[in-house]
Amino acid sequence: MFKILKAEHLAENIILMDVEAKRVAKSCLPGQFVIIRVDEKGERVPLTIADYDREKGIITIVFQPIGASTHQLAELKAGDTILDFVGPLGRPSDLVYEDIEELKKKKILFICGGVGTAPVYPQVKWLHEHGVGADVIIGARTKNLLIYEDAMREVAENLYMCTDDGSYGFKGNGSQRLDALYEEGKSYDHCVVIGPMIMMKFTCMATKKYNIPTVVSMNPIMVDGTGMCGACRLTVGDEVKFACVDGPEFDGHKINFDEAMKRQAMYKTAEGRALLKFKE
């Protein structure tokens, strides 16, 4: 059993939990995920690691209650326990394998949207701890949905906040903020984009325009996170990949987002899942 040490709302419908999971905290790296199961009847839910404290043995997860299992998780409070908390799973972010001195020469930008801001945080923090600066754009539909501003400000070189409705920071989305940065004379050598699928699709189109190699995290498409359900199957260039086994990070300019979004929509309903299984 894994004890919940903290449970709080970061924004409307976005919940943060600190969970005692010593073995996961000991070995996890930015970009990896865990699979949780609240109780024996619960579904397996893959959630990206949003932070870790190796000394205290704590893993932070951030999620939106969407299906039955995440709603069940959302009802738990500090002191309650989670039956399974398995990880770390998935390949860590490519950035952690690069030569630090080479990374220091690069101009790195993270563009994150909504709950996708949480998995960006450990990557920017890891870079900061290794002396590598990175700029970050955090976007959301409106002010109440922005998360991680204070924490990110501590680790980012420059932080740019934006909202679609202009209620906080720049008025516009992450791609429009990127356009504005280029107009101001900025440029980047590497970009990481994490957020809803539609946001990643359009942000990748924008980074392609500026020839910025771009990595996306395909966590939103995962269902069981084990390589068995087939939900996370992707076309990347001319290859077929599974987000949970081969990723979650991929070259954002090679992903067929339209196909991925169609699969994601199908997997939202039991009928859709049955239909996809039948077709395969």
Contact residues: ligand FES, CB under 6 A: 222-232, 242-244
The nearer residue to ligand FES, 30 or 90, going by C-beta atoms, is 90
In angstroms, rounded to a whole number, what is the distance separating the alpha carbons of residues 147 and 138?
8
> Residue 175 corresponds to which amino acid?
S
Supply the minimum distance, in Å, between the C-beta of residue 97 and ligand FES: 22
The nearer residue to ligand FES, 18 or 246, going by C-beta atoms, is 246
Supply the minimum distance, in Å, between the C-beta of residue 233 and ligand FES: 7
In angstroms, rounded to a whole number, what is the distance separating the alpha carbons of residues 114 and 164?
12
The nearer residue to ligand FES, 68 or 240, going by C-beta atoms, is 240
The nearer residue to ligand FES, 149 or 224, going by C-beta atoms, is 224
Whose CA is closest to 195, among 212, 179, 175?
A: 175
Angle in degrees, CA 252, 253, 255, rounded to 5: 65
Buried b (16+ CB within 10 A) or exposed e, 257-275: beebbebbebbeeeebbee
Supply the minimum distance, in Å, between the C-beta of residue 56 and ligand FES: 30
Whose CA is closest to 276, among 220, 229, 238?
A: 229
The nearer residue to ligand FES, 58 or 244, going by C-beta atoms, is 244
Strands 134-140 and 108-113, sheet pairing = parallel
Q: Is the separation of the CB atoms in 138 and 159 below 8 Å?
A: yes
Supply the minimum distance, in Å, between the C-beta of residue 102 and ligand FES: 32
Distances (CA, A) of 223 to 21, 43, 67, 181, 183: 22, 9, 11, 36, 40
The nearer residue to ligand FES, 228 or 265, going by C-beta atoms, is 228
The nearer residue to ligand FES, 67 or 227, going by C-beta atoms, is 227
DSSP secondary structure, 189-229, as one string: SEEEEES-HHHHHHHHHHHHHTT--EEEE-GGG-SSSSSSS
Supply the minimum distance, in Å, between the C-beta of residue 276 and ligand FES: 11
> Residue 270 corresponds to which amino acid?
A
Supply the minimum distance, in Å, between the C-beta of residue 25 and ligand FES: 23
Supply the minimum distance, in Å, between the C-beta of residue 221 and ligand FES: 7
